[in-house]
Structure 1
Amino acid sequence: MSEQVISLDSISRLGVLSAASRDQVPPPAAAEGCASQGRCGASAGPDDMPAEVWEKVKNHPCYSEEAHHFFARMHVAVAPACNIQCNYCNRKYDCANESRPGVVSERLTPEQAARKVAAVANELPQLSVLGVAGPGDSLFDARKTFETFARVGAMLPDLKFCISTNGLALPDHLDELTRHAIDHVTITLNCVDPEIGARIYPWIYFKGRRWTGVDGAKILLERQMEGLEGLIARKILVKINSVMIPGINDHHLPEVNRVIREKGAFLHNVMPLISAPEHGTHFGLTGQRGPTPAELKDLQDRLGGGANLMKHCRQCRADAIGLLGEDRGQEFTMDKIPETVVVDPSRREAYRAFVEEERADRRAAAVQTESALARDAAVGTPARLVAITTKGGGRINAHFGKVTEFQIYEVDGAGVRFVGARRLPDKYCLGGFDNAPVMPAILDALEGVDAVLTAKIGPGPRGRLEAAGIEVYEDRTLEYIEPAIGSWYAGRMGAALSERSSA
């Protein structure tokens, strides 16, 4: 394959991919309807939504819960400036060890970003999505964002494009989003009440001046609603991010969920506030706490029946690379990227064919547990929380001591449902040595969990978990996650029912 050298002139000759050149997204679930409860969502599959919508989400790790096991995203930090200030945000520079939105290790020009994307695509066949999420706002300096997508689209037309925005500038760029084939947009929307917004946003910058308090929050909210409606009208899939802030908007988020569902948003992602003092945010410095995992789950449970929820978010950095839950950005800093990159799609094509086979096998395995779970549903067996250790592929394939997060699932007779990921401050196993001081944090992360299914675990941590009343299983290594949990649950509840009937 010949080398592709991209410049603005060559883009002009090639032509930016128009909306007509890619599949168009029909109106979101609320307008089109889906087989599953009349809506689409992150946990839905090809039978739950129109085929053209499935084609848009099936390989997007943020919009499809299944896809996040297989596909990687990449964020390029080409948009450093922001037009609002949030009390939970501090856009530090060069914070490679922090995993939270708004921080990056390198800011890039559009030309650098395109070269970097090409290099990453060659090395990571899992890459399916390119996003611009800051570290400021992707549309405050929209020129850099759109130039980046134009350059990358000319080289890698198979990648999905998406942006994340606070929505203030969104109404001014709706047609440009369509022209650049950006068919996934995330809006951070924390309230639909300006009084609450004034407690979250100290100021916004709009039409050449700074607005504060309720006045600023009202303008922001009006622009967010206008932008959301404009995206829906253009058949662009919309995900709403909301930061859960105890005592400020936690009681209000059900109303946010109701409003965005009525307007046709595809997903609602309720994220916990990150407010460690060392991050230097206003909320962090003033002692505003974030929610506990139990509080977040309780809110998500209360939102059931509203707009469909995304529960697998990892609150990525603005320069994140890799599967959700991992960040390989330090492997691809600009000093490691060659001056010229030859784009080779063959590995990505082969990988996607492999994933389709895995998906078919995974779904076939899931069918095997359905009858057992239906039996348990008939007798009203209780729900259980299960923690999984995985390194991707939708399988139980990671050593307990090697993970920095647990994936939490809830299971009962109605099925297996992903609850969320719970992060750890560090790994338990550090180069063959036990990191015993991290165990209290591990136990905190496993609060409410009944069992851990892992590929392997040492006797030390196993003993600590069992002493805390958590069952540990190593007998389902390399099995698919949901079928393994369903099979475990069916066996566990079956044994309990047998004991009950023989007593």
Structure 2
Amino acid sequence: MSGNVVPLSSITRSMPVPPAGGCASSSCGAPSDRGDVPEQVWERIKDHPCFSEEAHHYFARMHVAVAPACNIQCNYCNRKYDCANESRPGVTSERLTPEQAARKVMAVAAKVPQLSVLGIAGPGDSLFDWRRTFETFRLVAAQMPDLKFCISTNGLALPDHVDELAQYNIDHVTITINAVDPEIATKIYPWIYFNGRRYTGIEAARILLDRQMEGLERLTAKGVLVKINSVLIPGINDRHLIEVNKAIKARGAFLHNVMPLISDPSHGTRFGLDGQRGPTAAEVKAVQDSLGGGAHLMRHCRQCRADAVGMLGEDLSRDFTLDKIPEAPVVDPEPRRVYREVVARERADRARAVAAATAGLAQTAPTAAPARLVAVCTKGGGRINQHFGHAREFHVFEVDSSGVRFSGLRKADNYCLGGEGDDERMPTILAALEGIETVFVSKIGRCPRDDLAKAGIEAVDTHPFEYIESAVAAWYAERFGVQIEAASIA
């Protein structure tokens, strides 16, 4: 199998062990996205790759497509089945029964020790198809009690199932809320199906928004961690998302994830066919930046398929179709236990490196030095560990005298195909790097380096396998005439 399905020995060899006497858990040093999160909340999110930016470097999620029916229509959604070529919500290659889903979870857990979360995100709505959703969680919980469970929902049916969510230990919930103004919502949702009938227009919008707010309030009252997804649609809700952020924060939402509209006409969505454009990376960042002081922001979302498997940014679902997995998979818990021990040591080591880099910048970098956006090629682990030609996305960080902060993701085509560079892909890559002057890579060929240089982009390959924050801090300090020692791989 490909991607992140690798022997545990390979994983452990790639992670350095901190010196004797060092921390063995993240509690010894604040991870990069711990911030002001209370300890009891951090314990709930530290292994969840969607609720913690730091966790997505180490842990994998999987979605099982057991909920095909939906109770609303969104102008940005077109659910597709038996589809292996599109990477977006609402798409799956297989629709599963709860029994098939439980079998698939066991098969993945047996091969992917990083797996920490099972989510149900459709391809319809997880709570409109609630019987399939809860039966899947019941079957999996009996075999894999260490997995975290979460769902994604549009919120229309949510108030009817809040108590059941607690019963099944589902304490991470994502609600898609694109508006709090019914007039704006009418431009996004053509209809809803509620209590046995179809509603349209302003009446549909009011029902949906009221149910979403009720569900959010009831979940947070029970202590459930709630993430809100909002699709940024230029000209429709881009300016309005500030009001959405205020409303969800007031009701206790933990995270707000502002995602770009995907509007390729080939996907067959109403927005795509009507020519509604998606936002640029700069527009997404501007909206996210405008939400500072509101609910915590998620900036590392990949807008996953309904059958996604593996680390965020890499989908192994094709390796785990029903025809490729055993009838009765057996999970050995030892590799999963060992992997978590290794990750705990790695996180503590990285926390120290990040703290040192931040302290060094604060002490030596000029406060007037300009902030810079840099892109990083990484396969995970918080390190610069990917060849430029293999990168299908770039992690963007902002650096100034106060530290190095994760800013967002830029998707692109990988430059190399079958070991050879494809010059026709470079325009797409350069478009993804708009506004970026420096790219950190573990390695890069001469031709793409030259192409980047012609576009005014510097390729830095002098920090392979170093932690991202410490390497970027060292580069920034050197650029502005100060010295910070980067933490390299042990």
TM-score of the aligned structures, taking structure 2 as reference length? 0.91
Q: How far apart are 1:378 and its partner, in Å?
A: 4.9
Corresponding residue number in structure 1 for 2:86: 98
Q: How far apart are 1:343 and its partner, in Å?
A: 2.5
Corresponding residue number in structure 2 for 1:258: 246
Give me the whole-angstrom Cα distance separating, in 1, the residues matched to 2:367 and 2:397.
Answer: 21
Give me the whole-angstrom Cα distance separating, in 2, the residues matched to 1:376 and 1:468.
Answer: 31
Instruction: Say whether 1:443 aligns with 2:437.
Output: no
Segment drifting more, 234-243 vs 49-58:
49-58
Q: Indicate which of 375, 380, 383 corresponds to 2:368.
A: 380
Please tell me the residue identity of whatever aligns with 1:452: V
Corresponding residue number in structure 1 for 2:156: 168
Q: Indicate which of 310, 329, 342 corresponds to 2:330.
A: 342
Corresponding residue number in structure 2 for 1:494: 481
1:129-148, aligned counterparts within 5 Å? 129-148=117-136
Identity of aligned residues (%): 67
Give me the whole-angstrom Cα distance separating, in 2, the residues matched to 1:447 and 1:44.
Answer: 25
Cα shift readout 1:26-47 (whole Å, capped 9, x = no counterpart): xxxxxxxxxxxxxxx99532x7
Q: How far apart are 1:371 and its partner, in Å?
A: 3.2
Seen in structure 2, the aligned counterparts of structure 1 residues 284 and 445 have a Cα distance that, compared at 3 Å, is same
Seen in structure 2, the aligned counterparts of structure 1 residues 225 and 147 have a Cα distance that, compared at 3 Å, is same
Q: Which of structure 1's runs of 4+ aligned residues deviate more than 6 A?
A: none
Q: How far apart are 1:379 and its partner, in Å?
A: 2.9
Give me the whole-angstrom Cα distance separating, in 2, the residues matched to 1:95 and 1:371.
Answer: 48
Q: How far apart are 1:50 and its partner, in Å?
A: 2.4
Conserved in 1, the CA contact under 8 Å of 2:31 and 2:351? no
Give me the whole-angstrom Cα distance separating, in 1, the residues matched to 2:385 and 2:56.
Answer: 15
SS at match of 1:214: helix
Q: How far apart are 1:178 and its partner, in Å?
A: 0.1
* Unmatched tracts of structure 2, length 5 or more: 1-29, 484-490
Corresponding residue number in structure 1 for 2:6: none
SS at match of 1:418: strand
Corresponding residue number in structure 1 for 2:308: 320
Q: Indicate which of 415, 421, 440 corresponds to 1:434.
A: 421
Please tell me the residue identity of whatever aligns with 2:173: V
Please tell me the residue identity of whatever aligns with 1:100: R
* Cα-Cα RMSD: 1.5
Corresponding residue number in structure 2 for 1:13: none
1:476-491, aligned counterparts within 5 Å? 476-491=463-478
Q: Indicate which of 462, 465, 487 corresponds to 1:475.
A: 462
1:174-323, aligned counterparts within 5 Å? 174-323=162-311
* Unmatched tracts of structure 1, length 5 or more: 1-40, 497-503
Corresponding residue number in structure 2 for 1:21: none
Q: Indicate which of 427, 435, 451 corresponds to 1:464.
A: 451
Conserved in 2, the CA contact under 8 Å of 1:62 and 1:313? yes
Q: Indicate which of 397, 402, 425 corresponds to 1:409.
A: 397
Q: How far apart are 1:458 and its partner, in Å?
A: 0.3
Cα shift readout 1:82-130 (whole Å, capped 9, x = no counterpart): 0000000000111111110000000000000001000100100000000
Give me the whole-angstrom Cα distance separating, in 2, the residues matched to 1:165 and 1:95.
Answer: 22
Q: How far apart are 1:166 and its partner, in Å?
A: 0.1
Give me the whole-angstrom Cα distance separating, in 1, the residues matched to 2:382 and 2:32.
Answer: 13
Q: How far apart are 1:280 and its partner, in Å?
A: 0.1
Instruction: Say whether 1:398 aligns with 2:386.
Output: yes
SS at match of 2:327: coil
Conserved in 1, the CA contact under 8 Å of 2:357 and 2:469? no
Give me the whole-angstrom Cα distance separating, in 2, the residues matched to 1:493 and 1:69.
Answer: 29
Corresponding residue number in structure 2 for 1:35: none
Q: How far apart are 1:491 and its partner, in Å?
A: 1.4
Please tell me the residue identity of whatever aligns with 2:415: Y
Please tell me the residue identity of whatever aligns with 2:453: E
Corresponding residue number in structure 2 for 1:77: 65
Conserved in 2, the CA contact under 8 Å of 1:42 and 1:64? no
